[in-house]
Amino acid sequence: RRVFVDFGGVMTAAVVSLNGARLGEHRGGYTPFSFELTQHVDWRGDNVLAVEVDSTERADIPPFGGEIDYLTFGGIYRDVALRFVPQTFIENVFAKPVNVMSADRRVDVRCYLNSQGAQPAQLKLNVELRDGDRVVNNLGPVELWDSERPKLYKVRVRLLEGGRGVDHYDARVGFREARFTPEGFFLNGQHVKLRGLNRHQTYPYVGQAMPARVQRRDAWILRRELKCNIVRTSHYPQSPHFLDACDDYGLLILEEIPGWQHVGDAAWKELAVRNVEAMIRRDWNHPSIILWGVRINESKDDHDFYTRTNATAHALDDSRPTGGIRYNYESEFLEDVFTMNDFGIPLRPPNHPRYLNTEFIGHTYPTKRSDNVERITEHTLRHARVHNQLGSDRAYAGGIGWCAFDYNTHANFCSGDRVCYHGVSDIFRIPKPAAGFYKSQCDPKEEVVLEPAFYWARGDHNESFDLAVVCSNCEHLKLYIADSVVAEVDPDRKNFPNLPHPPFVTDLRQVLWRGWGDLKIEGYIGGRLAITKQLSGRGVDRQLLVEPDDTELIGDGIDSTRVVLRVTDEYGAPRPFANDAIVLLLEGPGEVVGENPFALFGGVGAVWVRTKEAAGVIRLTAKHPTLGTKTVEIRVRRTPADVPTI
């Protein structure tokens, strides 16, 4: 048998050796690579596998060469595994559903074999399509993959030698048709307005090095909590665990190659073309991916270079269109979809028949959760205004806002602390009020949403409370102060006629003179009370909440979960000026990934809990200087099959 070592990602370059024998070098921090170890293994003794990592921002490797608006951190930050295979094995499989919407649908399966030495004469490939444990013998009616019902099948390819199975390869597939047209984007023949956010894979404390469960949580947040239907993997191929979760949850993806504005010399461009190939070969079976980004983000035109990146993508995968993220409205159009970063309000009109807005707001209006109410409210309304315009014309396929989560960056791009506060959620993935706009655009049959785009604090306004904005998918709101009705409001369809669910806007100046007190907001659908939210008028911190994302983990020394810390009023509403230091005590087979004591920012924060290689119960206790202590328990099991995943 043969043995390989597989690296999911090493930032930025890696030289790999086994027992002193140099196996090779890989340049690029976002694409996977493998080296064969077979010839250098000492099968009777110890072996030393060495990886020499250069994590500097090397100008010869994309995305570097100029200053970029994000940090790449360093090290071996994705999965590493040993792989044992026969002399001839299946290296890759591309399972491509064809004619999905017609009666003659099929799956074209392209297999890539790797063979060493004399190849046996009796090699055969057997291909099955499976629905769970059931083998699908013909492609009659199949269940389509879409954003609401992301049905997945499995293609299993078996390599047979003399009738005996010697290797197999499983690829998940989804039957779906995704088309960009002059009339917008269509999924399985249905018009869908794309509404989403960009994602950086940056986390506090560990940079990019988070395990599968945490990567999957981001997809869950985007699809299930923020109700997005698309994400852009800005500005590089992201974790396969994140992409797998997008397949599972129905979150569409624009995936792109590493880069940010700068284009280097011929050797640099050659690496970029290889990045196109590596990205597509790794990810071509993901039904969630609907667009390959084959242009360096916001770079100048380069006809020969981008002709080549497009040709490479089309040669490898003719089932998906290409896009190229640009900021120049007059840029040369070589791709299939014109993908444009437009930060203006109003947006420019579409100037090509397939047009997708891929960034807006972001750096033009950075917002912290501790900013004053006017800024927080305006941040929310700016996202709403852009999506309202995108909804005004079907020629806009949709828009992907900048961005989902705050992220680390270089000093020239941040607010002075190497954090870009561009997200609708903070770097801990905790939503700011602007996140409520995205969440409110879902059908109330999925979830009834009511999210104020303000904090209830009378003295935190420049003049008076003239603009109270609530994001909701209700049909009517009633607002009470101290149990008296002060306003009844309908959605603001005058200013937001093209949104599924416009925000509610009201002026409270004329009612606050009556007095201050608790605010209660009731949301009505079909004349019935559907949801209630209350905010305390007392201005007092009342509760410490400690909320783990998961209560069961795998004791493998890697598995992790986020634990959110909040100080709230008596109704659970955030207290944005609570910046207390929380002292953490952990008992059991785990460790805290984060600061301890932890200083809240805007009343919230988070740490992660990582397991050790043992089973048991982790008890995490958080102590607040005035609100006492709270303890949560997380059960740790050694067997992965016993632990649920999101």
pLDDT in tens, 465-474: 778 999 999 9
For residue 483, the tally of other CB atoms under 10 A from its CB is: 8
Report yes or no on 304 lying in a domain. Answer: yes
Record the pTM. Answer: 0.96
192 has a pLDDT exceeding 70: yes
pLDDT band (50, 70, 90) for residue 310: very high
Instruction: Write down the mean pLDDT value for the chain.
Output: 95
Residues 110 and 208 in one domain: no
383 has a pLDDT exceeding 90: yes
Alpha helices (runs of H) in 178-332, residue ranges in sequence order: 212-220, 240-249, 266-283, 303-316
- Of 440, 460, 475, which residue is a domain's last? 440
Report yes or no on 554 lying in a domain. Answer: yes
Of 30-44, 116-130, 495-509, which gets the smallest average pLDDT?
A: 116-130
Residues 166 and 64 in one domain: no
pLDDT reported for residue 301? 97
Domain that holds residue 74: 2-85
Report yes or no on 242 lying in a domain. Answer: yes
pLDDT reported for residue 394? 97
pLDDT reported for residue 645? 67
Strands 49-54 and 178-181: unpaired
Residues 569 and 427 in one domain: no
H or E element: which one contains 160?
Answer: strand 153-161
- Of 503, 535, 567, which residue is a domain's last? 535
pLDDT band (50, 70, 90) for residue 138: confident
Report yes or no on 267 lying in a domain. Answer: yes
Residues 134 and 211 in one domain: no
pLDDT reported for residue 120? 64
451: which DSSP letter?
E
Mean pLDDT, residues 478-484 taken together = 94
641 has a pLDDT exceeding 70: no
Q: What are phi and psi of 115, to 5 degrees?
A: -130, 145
Residues 606 and 637 in one domain: yes
Of 153-167, 312-326, 397-411, 510-524, which gets the smallest average pLDDT?
A: 510-524
pLDDT reported for residue 361? 96
Residues 372 and 319 in one domain: yes
- Of 173, 195, 220, which residue is a domain's last? 173
Cα atoms in the Cβ-side hemisphere of radius 13 Å centred on 548: 22
Q: How far is CA 618 from CA 214, 256, 394, 638, in A?
A: 18, 39, 52, 13
**Measured distance CA(148)–CA(249) in Å, rounded:** 8
What does the DSSP assignment read for 574-624?
B-TT--PEEEEEEESSEEEES-SSEE-BTTEEEEEEEE-SS-EEEEEEEEE
Residues 521 and 549 in one domain: no
Mean pLDDT, residues 485-512 taken together = 94
CATH number at residue 554: 2.60.40.10
Q: How far is CA 353 from CA 181, 317, 394, 477, in A?
A: 7, 22, 10, 40
pLDDT digits (tens, 9 = 90+) for 514-556: 778 999 999 999 999 999 999 999 989 999 999 999 999 999 9
Residues 384 and 251 in one domain: yes
**Measured distance CA(553)–CA(589) in Å, rounded:** 11
Number of domains into which the chain is organized: 5
* In contact, 32 and 8? CB cutoff 8 Å: yes
| Residue 359 falls in the annotated catalytic set | yes
Report yes or no on 192 lying in a domain. Answer: yes
* Annotated active-site residue in 255, 359, 451, 522: 359
Residues 342 and 329 in one domain: yes
pLDDT digits (tens, 9 = 90+) for 157-166: 999 998 899 9
Report yes or no on 339 lying in a domain. Answer: yes
Mean pLDDT, residues 4-24 taken together = 98
pLDDT band (50, 70, 90) for residue 644: low
**Measured distance CA(197)–CA(399) in Å, rounded:** 8
Residues 104 and 63 in one domain: no
Q: What percent of the chain has pLDDT over 70?
A: 98
**Measured distance CA(129)–CA(253) in Å, rounded:** 24
219 has a pLDDT exceeding 80: yes
Report yes or no on 445 lying in a domain. Answer: no
pLDDT digits (tens, 9 = 90+) for 365-376: 999 999 999 999
* Annotated active-site residue in 36, 255, 256, 298: 298
pLDDT reported for residue 140? 76
Report yes or no on 331 lying in a domain. Answer: yes
Q: Which residues pair with 587 in a beta bridge?
A: 619
Residues 555 and 614 in one domain: yes
pLDDT reported for residue 459? 73
Chain mean position to CA 399: 15
pLDDT reported for residue 642? 61
Residues 266 and 410 in one domain: yes
With b meaning 16 or more CB within 10 Å and e meaning fewer, what string describes 29-66?
A: bbbbbbbbbeebeeeeeeeebebebebebeeebbbbbe
CATH number at residue 354: 3.20.20.80
507 has a pLDDT exceeding 70: yes
pLDDT reported for residue 328? 94
What's the distance, Cα to Cα, between the start and end of the chain in Å? 36
